[in-house]
Structure 1
Amino acid sequence: MYEFSPSGIATAEPTLREKRLAPMPSRSGDTSGTTATGRRDGKNAIDRVVVINDLSIAKGGGTGLALLSVRLLRQAGIPVTYICGDDGENPDFADLGVEVVALGGQHILTGNRLRAMVSGVHNVDAKTMITRWITANDTANTVYHVHGWSKIMSPAVFSALSRVAGRSVLHAHDFFLACPNGAFYDYQSQLACERRPLGLGCMANNCDKRSYGQKVWRAARSARLRSLVLRRGASSRRVLLLHDKMAPAFERSGYVPEMLHTLRNPVVSYCSERVCAENNSEFFFIGRLEPEKGIEDAVKAAAMAGVRLTIIGDGPLKERLSTFGNGVRVLGWQSHGQIAEHVRNARALLMPTRYPEPFGLVAVEASQSGIPVVLSTKAYLAEEMVAAGVALACETANAVAFAHTLRHLAQMPADKLKAMSQRAFSRAAPLATSPEEWRDALIGHYINLIAGA
């Protein structure tokens, strides 16, 4: 995970507000350089990257990556504007010389419910804010990168970007660009969904985690998004997927293959020295404490296998998990550095997701630290991690199968587990990018868009 300094978000105001911090001096007139600095032959130089995201403080992976891109682009000397739905009160923006344009809005789950239902489908203020910035500042070499829109700004983002669609990148951190509930997962039956989004089968099925009414609202929002993103000439837009296996689901939703490009997330391991997993006995779960993440499956299997489980994360199940006795330790949310200290005692990391997990950042962070992984066969990384000899996969929703796998790993001879740990630490499988590789790939996409436009 990538974090800016921990700071809270100020109380949001439901009015449009723009705040600009002095940007670092741009290198106008200097068109020499390499892809890593975003410069190539003058006409394809990147004037500015506009990062668009609901939040300015990292509370999840998508925002963390949006903020990481800001830092990496600034380090490469590229001017950045950060357009956000909240108040934009991240103190790191000033230090980085980032221009901030903040809506000062509220999460759709807070405030007046009727207003949230309307603004969640089309937030007029968000469209006005982005349109205003484009009208005043756009150049032929400005690129727009959308990371998050579903919590505050709504599909109105894509309406505002329609005039610059050919220079727009949409980052699919999840499936909300394609599926109404964002997961291709039926939360009621707890099964993966193969239906065509917004088709008759989809609309007749109550798959939402809250209610069918919520499903209908999300479907309306998804239909609005689709009308904006998949309109004529949409193939000029670029959608970045986290894994190749996401592509069929997006194509089933109407995206053409030309729009879809895979760019794996950047990963920094928890530990710079190998975790000696063969000397440890503790199993770890790191992530959101919600049913679809499979945390309850992990607790049940750990109890059946007689192994100790440490849980790191926050969410609605936290309090209940804290009552499971001595075999389960719940630490709550921890920073990347704090996690590094804890996982030095890890024998394995568990990722028992119940839905098709597009990436699984914690699994790669742990693996590159030398920690073997036990993961669900539903995770897109499962097949390649098992093939590389750095993980075991099973039907984690099946308590007996899951417990059997945990016992097998708990009883594995030290030399075999050490070999597994060493393979993981040596990065035997190319599971992710480094931050520098990720930055250069982003810049390559931006330059290609500018050249094409």
Structure 2
Amino acid sequence: MRILIIHNHYKEVGGEDTVFFAEAALLEEHGHEVQKLALSNKEVNTISEKLGAAFGVAYNWSSARRIEESIKTFQPDVVHVHNFFPLVSPAVFYICHTYKVPVVMTLHNYRLICPSALLHYDGELQMENVQKVFPLKPILKGVYRNSAFQTASVVLTTGIHKVIGTWRNKVDKYIALTPGAADLFKDSSLNLRQEQVAVKPNFTADPGLGEEERDDYFLYIGRLTPEKGIDTLLKAHQLQNFKLKIIGDGPLREQVQQYAAAHPDTVEYLGFQKREVAMSILKKAKALIFSSEWLETFGMTIVEAFATGTPVIAAKIGGAAHLVQHMYNGLHYTPQQPAQLQEQVQLLQQDNAIATELSHNARFTYEQAFTAEVNYRQLIKIYEDAVRQKKSPASPGLAVKAGLL
């Protein structure tokens, strides 16, 4: 199979970039012909470039020409889009439709239904945006890059393409990372068809099992931002001075540094660390704390923890609510409830038998659902379904009603 994979990199490297490269490599390892077409926000620096990107977000003609040339020369069986925002633009879906190439898109975030991409700002979930074609509150708040103008460009882009049916009629298959995320997208202003959305999680390369005898510290790995539940994590620590290591960087770095300095015997802030270093620390941790309080579409650090046989204590919300099964491979607590988080920490500290059982089940969960081989089979099936659907279009009457003709 010939697969053209398209991605728009952000200025800061993130999880979407990791998945883009990992899935491309996975497909190549299985003998498929893969071509990567990537644009980067690092290309946008001058005022004119920024204005061009803002005005081209709804349909970027320059990107459209690049995509068209790639399709004509590479002749892919399927196109897989990871992120089109902002430089690729929805032009990719119209070019694919014109050349009758099936297109698959991974829903890494909530950008199509909320310009924040998180459904979270002002310290709380913003679920009212899910059903709105043109949500106005985010514009007033300037949730995208702290700019009302740039937020408005996102809202107009996603909204216009909702109205003209791009999301429903020009994308053959969407990949949601958990069943919960799939249900949310299907019951939204995107007006998707039920069969359009498939569920396929991300995967991680096997880092190997962690230590059988764990150290007595707990570990947080992730961005230091409000929606990640940093306040809840630190408040839980205040209730009980358990040993805590924190890996990551972000806007709340100073707050975390100050807290660690005030608790030098129990809190260690390690800043940003390369993956191999973070994995070595994870392999010795009693548990990973996943304190995120927004509707994460997935939770890559959870899967990495499972792979090392490390239990996860997670806020019961979003991807974590699906990935972590309470008292099986980890423990749940209610978001924004530090006392409940502290209780779960205490449980693992006091009951080695439970900690051992959760550890074994965490590794089993990884082997059953999140290895590269399992993921490959799921991904190829989605591609094959998209190709099959493209070759077997609906009847003319149904096609007219769906806006396909």
TM range (shorter): 0.7 to 0.9
TM-score, normalising length from structure 2?
Answer: 0.83
Question: Is 1:193 matched with 2:127?
Answer: yes
SS of structure 2 residue aligned to 1:180? coil
Question: Is 1:222 matched with 2:158?
Answer: yes
- Residue 95 of structure 1 is matched in structure 2 by none
Deviations 1:374-422 (A, max 9, x none): 1111133325623461211112312333233323333x22223222222
Question: Is 1:143 matched with 2:78?
Answer: yes
Q: Aligned partners of 1:383 and 1:79: how far apart in 2? A: 34
Using a 3 Å threshold, how does the CA distance of structure 1 residues 302 and 83 change in structure 2: closer, same or farther? same
Using a 3 Å threshold, how does the CA distance of structure 1 residues 217 and 451 change in structure 2: closer, same or farther? closer
Question: Superposition pairs for residues 231-310 of structure 1, below 5 Å?
Answer: 233-234=169-170, 237-251=172-186, 252-253=188-189, 254-270=191-207, 272-276=208-212, 279-310=214-245
Deviation at 1:269, TM superposition (A): 4.4
Deviation at 1:442, TM superposition (A): 1.9
Superposition RMSD on alpha carbons, in Å?
Answer: 2.8
Residue ranges of structure 2 left out of the alignment (5+ in a row): 392-405
Asked whether the equivalents of residues 58 and 64 of structure 1 are also in contact (C-alpha less than 8 Å), the reply is no
Using a 3 Å threshold, how does the CA distance of structure 1 residues 166 and 342 change in structure 2: closer, same or farther? same
Question: Is 1:203 matched with 2:136?
Answer: yes
Asked whether the equivalents of residues 307 and 363 of structure 2 are also in contact (C-alpha less than 8 Å), the reply is yes
Q: Aligned partners of 1:257 and 1:55: how far apart in 2? A: 29
- Residue 422 of structure 1 is matched in structure 2 by 360
Deviations 1:19-58 (A, max 9, x none): xxxxxxxxxxxxxxxxxxxxxxxxxxx2x21000013999
TM-score, normalising length from structure 1?
Answer: 0.75
Deviation at 1:144, TM superposition (A): 0.4
Q: Aligned partners of 1:72 and 1:135: how far apart in 2? A: 24
Q: Aligned partners of 1:348 and 1:332: how far apart in 2? A: 19
Deviations 1:417-445 (A, max 9, x none): 22222222233895x33112212322222
Deviation at 1:180, TM superposition (A): 2.9
- Residue 183 of structure 1 is matched in structure 2 by 118
Q: Aligned partners of 1:50 and 1:349: how far apart in 2? A: 36
Asked whether the equivalents of residues 143 and 446 of structure 1 are also in contact (C-alpha less than 8 Å), the reply is yes
Asked whether the equivalents of residues 326 and 332 of structure 2 are also in contact (C-alpha less than 8 Å), the reply is no
Q: Aligned partners of 1:69 and 1:420: how far apart in 2? A: 29
Question: Is 1:117 matched with 2:50?
Answer: no
Residue ranges of structure 1 left out of the alignment (5+ in a row): 1-45, 87-104
SS of structure 1 residue aligned to 2:283? helix
Asked whether the equivalents of residues 113 and 130 of structure 2 are also in contact (C-alpha less than 8 Å), the reply is no
Question: Is 1:54 matched with 2:8?
Answer: yes
- Residue 440 of structure 1 is matched in structure 2 by 377
AA paired with 1:446? Y
SS of structure 2 residue aligned to 1:370? coil
Asked whether the equivalents of residues 274 and 422 of structure 1 are also in contact (C-alpha less than 8 Å), the reply is no
Asked whether the equivalents of residues 238 and 260 of structure 1 are also in contact (C-alpha less than 8 Å), the reply is yes
Question: Is 1:402 matched with 2:335?
Answer: no
Asked whether the equivalents of residues 178 and 249 of structure 1 are also in contact (C-alpha less than 8 Å), the reply is no
Q: Aligned partners of 1:388 and 1:267: how far apart in 2? A: 23
Using a 3 Å threshold, how does the CA distance of structure 1 residues 151 and 332 change in structure 2: closer, same or farther? farther
Using a 3 Å threshold, how does the CA distance of structure 1 residues 163 and 156 change in structure 2: closer, same or farther? same
- Residue 398 of structure 2 is matched in structure 1 by none
- Residue 330 of structure 2 is matched in structure 1 by 391
Asked whether the equivalents of residues 7 and 82 of structure 2 are also in contact (C-alpha less than 8 Å), the reply is yes
AA paired with 2:13? K
Deviations 1:196-219 (A, max 9, x none): 44347x324656263554442321
Q: Aligned partners of 2:91 and 2:216: how far apart in 1? A: 50
Q: Aligned partners of 2:79 and 2:236: how far apart in 1? A: 45
SS of structure 2 residue aligned to 1:133? helix
Q: Aligned partners of 1:340 and 1:196: how far apart in 2? A: 36
- Residue 174 of structure 1 is matched in structure 2 by 109
Using a 3 Å threshold, how does the CA distance of structure 1 residues 106 and 161 change in structure 2: closer, same or farther? farther
Deviation at 1:286, TM superposition (A): 0.9
Using a 3 Å threshold, how does the CA distance of structure 1 residues 228 and 164 change in structure 2: closer, same or farther? farther
Asked whether the equivalents of residues 8 and 84 of structure 2 are also in contact (C-alpha less than 8 Å), the reply is yes
Deviations 1:210-247 (A, max 9, x none): 3554442321121244356636744x611011011112
AA paired with 1:349? L
- Residue 388 of structure 2 is matched in structure 1 by 451
Asked whether the equivalents of residues 302 and 406 of structure 1 are also in contact (C-alpha less than 8 Å), the reply is no
SS of structure 1 residue aligned to 2:270? strand
Asked whether the equivalents of residues 77 and 101 of structure 2 are also in contact (C-alpha less than 8 Å), the reply is no
> Identity percentage over the alignment?
23
SS of structure 2 residue aligned to 1:427? helix
Which of 275, 295, 298 matches 1:359? 298
Deviations 1:97-123 (A, max 9, x none): xxxxxxxx6366x44243342233433
- Residue 68 of structure 1 is matched in structure 2 by 22
Asked whether the equivalents of residues 366 and 373 of structure 1 are also in contact (C-alpha less than 8 Å), the reply is yes
AA paired with 2:269? V
Q: Aligned partners of 2:128 and 2:10: how far apart in 1? A: 34
Asked whether the equivalents of residues 54 and 151 of structure 1 are also in contact (C-alpha less than 8 Å), the reply is yes
Asked whether the equivalents of residues 283 and 310 of structure 1 are also in contact (C-alpha less than 8 Å), the reply is yes
Asked whether the equivalents of residues 172 and 240 of structure 1 are also in contact (C-alpha less than 8 Å), the reply is yes
Deviation at 1:84, TM superposition (A): 0.9
